[in-house]
Homo-oligomer: A and B are copies of this chain.
Amino acid sequence: MLNDATGDFIRQLESCLPEGSLRAPEPRDLEEPRGRYQGRAAAVVRPATVAEVSQVIRTCAASRVGVIPLGGGTGLVGGQVMPEGPVPILLSLERMRSIRALHPQENVLVAEAGATLAEIRAAAEGVDRLFPLSLASEGTARIGGNLATNAGGVNVLRYGNARDLCLGLEAVLPDGTIWNGLKRLRKDNTGYDLRNLLIGSEGTLGVITAASLKLVPRPAGEGTAFFVVEDPAAALSLLALAQDRLGGLISAFELIGGTGLDFLTEKLPDTRQPFSPRPDWMVLVELGLPQGLDPAAALEGLFEAGLEAGLVSDGVIAQSEAQRAEFWALRETIPAANKRIGAISSHDISLPLGRIADFIAEAGPALAAIGNWRINCFGHLGDGNLHYNVFPVQGESRAQHQAAAPSIMAMVHDLVHARDGSVSAEHGIGRLKVEDLERYGDPAKLAAMRTIKDALDPLGILNPGAVLRMR
């Protein structure tokens, strides 16, 4: 059993770190974006070097005190806040945010875990490269947290998840040893894949302190369009058509449902909408092309082919960089509108592409049988990743329906699981989905996970209660 981080313990930590390394927790350190959990912590420890991180972990191990690693705090499943159990410390990477190295010719950047995603993207741009991980919260989210949770976002279709963009890690393991794994190699088959084991383990197996990251050449030209489609099945056929024509050059393929457009009208009426009347479904398509291919022409060609195949009925292609930004702003504003409406239950699900249309067609009527809701279904269709969020009808509030939330979530997750989908596509398990993991996870995998956790962190000090139940 873990121990509380007592006053004596905090003084001991202070004595082995440079002055100013600790601060009192502020409210923002103990909250998460959706307000589901209220964390507790005896102090925020802010090491400035990997050696100091090691010192913190060793000190916590010696007294068996829990450690919650903290990045930008933007996680949506409560992985960064511990609301119950013995009082832990927060280990914030906020002072380790340097870009340690840039190798443009190798397409590699080495950053400390506390650098924000936006800082890393800007550093890459500074040498005419792209770091393709892109999320709405990139101004706040830190790369250590992005890797710890294997973040996704809008460009996974083309460039993969966070794990696909990482070549090497520096991390502190639960016994305080430092793993110097900052390789910048494309091929390295020397032993078990510790890098991918830590990525996505949500700080339960080690604290990532730095990473070497893959950059890619910036496309010579980019183009963005909205296309109106009849339904999600048509959107998927359009994706297949686009892939036949353009292979791996499609950077994003996002589905937007009519309900999301209604929410914008209702809560953020200044958002310019591309079509009137508002369509039931539309997609945002982005291309990044090499020299010799014109984005506007490619999007026009795709539109015409889609029209001929009966897949699209209307479309608009961005005519300038400003208009491209405006298209993306519409997409990225939907979560803000959702927040203002107030979801009863939100779901971050993924499905095999061939089963998405079927799921959407069945989930709506199934939910309607237990109440009246508005469903905002949108997201990264190209990756099979939907944000399928359930809201009260207009005039009613989330609070009135909170009691129905567990049965809504169970219904959605059961339907997803029955179709070989995932109940956490990109947000992770954190504390919110520990029960879901136990319910839907493969028993052999769960047993292996528990074995690995207990072997690498026998004291259970790293992010206790996240991913796996506290023991």
Contact = CB atoms under 8 A, between A and B. Distances in A.
B185 A352 contact: yes
A199 B193 contact: yes
Interface size bracket, A side = 35 or more
A150 interface: yes
B444 A190 contact: no
Contacts of A451: 455-456
B293 A177 contact: no
A376 interface: no
A457 to B, nearest CB: 10
B425 A152 contact: no
B420 A184 contact: yes
B219 A429 contact: no
A451 B353 CA distance: 38
Interface in A410-447: 420-429, 433, 436-437, 440-447
B186 A444 contact: no
Interface string A345-372: 0000011111000000000000000000
Contacts of A426: 187, 189
Contacts of A249: 290
A156 interface: yes
Interface stretch (A38-46, A59-67, A238-246, A257-265): A238-246
Interface stretch (A28-36, A103-111, A224-232, A323-331): A103-111
Interface string A174-189: 0001111101111111
Contact of A445 (B179, B292, B454): B179
A192 B449 contact: yes
Given A187-B380, A452-B456, A216 B248 contact: yes
A248 B245 contact: no
A279 interface: no
A354 B187 contact: no
A191 B444 CA distance: 12
Contacts of A197: 192-193, 196-197, 452
A181 B445 CA distance: 8
Given A201-B192, A445-B181, A187 B383 contact: yes
Contact of A186 (B156, B220, B245, B292): B156
A282 interface: no
A179 B443 CA distance: 8
A68 to B, nearest CB: 18
Interface of A: 103, 105-108, 149-150, 152, 156-157, 160-161, 163-164, 173, 177-181, 183-194, 196-197, 199-201, 205, 216-217, 219-220, 236, 240, 243-249, 288, 290-293, 298, 350-354, 380, 382-385, 420-429, 433, 436-437, 440-449, 451-456, 467
